[in-house]
Chains A and B, each alone.
Chain A
Amino acid sequence: MSGEAPLPVGLDANEERLVAELRAGSEEAFAALVGRYHASMVRVATAIVGNRAVAEEVAQDAWVGALRGIERFEGRSSLRTWLFRILTNRALSRQERERRSVPFSSLASDELDAEEAALDPERFLPADHARWPNTWAVAPESWAGAGEERALAAESHRVIAEAIDALPAAQRTVITMRDVEGYDAQDVCNALEVSETNQRVLLHRARSKVRRALEDYLQEDDAGDGSPG
């Protein structure tokens, strides 16, 4: 039962069967679900609490909560979304305890209050430029071909993971939920209690920084001085 692709969102027949088996106490069904969702739950929890060991505990605890609540699961959302809600509730309250009662929502609003441009302003000509105000001064170099391949290759994973780890908590959480794990904007807004607009602002800032990290990484190697990292 291991190694299956993740389910599409929505309660399909397969998921329905797993839920029924789980209620009947099937360890095999539980192992299948854990194999499918646990690593993803740990990544989401890590983004929220900022610590892998704590996140592992939170995810373990979420599974216990899910088992206790499985009788009440009505299948109105997918099982994946239902687990995500249990997990994020626990991760957010744990984060609040660890951070001495700074709720996640106030971390998010601090990030949102700060002005932040997607790119270094130096990349653009000044607003009072006589001919081309606010156009590119330092244009992005195309990644078509080799750049694209390298951005998607396994070697770039470390660069991307480090760039995500370095993000402020709310941006790190939103990009992990949306772009790493593929949750819907709506699920993310509900979990974090942020508006759609604010969710997009956080996502934009996070993506912009990861893009910059990739740009640096691709340019570094273009320079090609051959020195090992």
Chain B
Amino acid sequence: MTCKELVELVTDYMEGALDADASARFEEHVTACPECLVHLGQMRLTVRAVGRLRGEDISPDARDHLLASFRNWRREG
């Protein structure tokens, strides 16, 4: 497995989608190749950083609008 091949397999590796043989070769490579290990770490960190975008709250307007829809629905029965 070359470095160029490895970078294309990082997501498959992280998703557990590589077969046992490919997964072992992937791990063997990153153990021996500091650059690819750094790259794998950056991809993992990217996933964590993207996860930080969560957590915005609902706007008061949207909330009011939804509660009005709810009251309509309840009236309709």
Contacts and interface: CB of A to CB of B under 8 A. Distances in A.
For the residues of A in contact with B, the DSSP-based class is helix
A140 B42 contact: yes
B15 A185 contact: yes
Interface string A126-138: 0000000111100
A96 to B, nearest CB: 24
Nearest to A185: B15
A136 B53 CA distance: 31
Interface of A: 25, 27, 30-31, 34-35, 38-40, 42-43, 56, 59-60, 63-64, 67-68, 117-119, 124, 133-136, 139-144, 148, 151-152, 154, 156-157, 160-161, 164, 175, 179-182, 185, 196-197, 200, 203-204, 207-208, 210-211, 214-215
Contact of B52 (A27, A60, A63, A157): A157
A136 B2 CA distance: 9
B21 interface: no
Given A40-B54, A152-B48, A181-B54, A118 B10 contact: yes
Contacts of A60: 62, 65-66, 69
A163 B66 CA distance: 31
B35 A136 contact: yes
Contact of B11 (A148, A151, A203): A203
B38 A141 contact: yes
Contacts of A141: 38
Nearest to A42: B62
B58 A164 contact: no
Contacts of A152: 45, 48-49, 52
B66 A38 contact: yes
B70 A180 contact: no
Interface in B20-45: 33, 35-36, 38-39, 41-43, 45
A135 B7 CA distance: 11
Contacts of A136: 3, 35-36
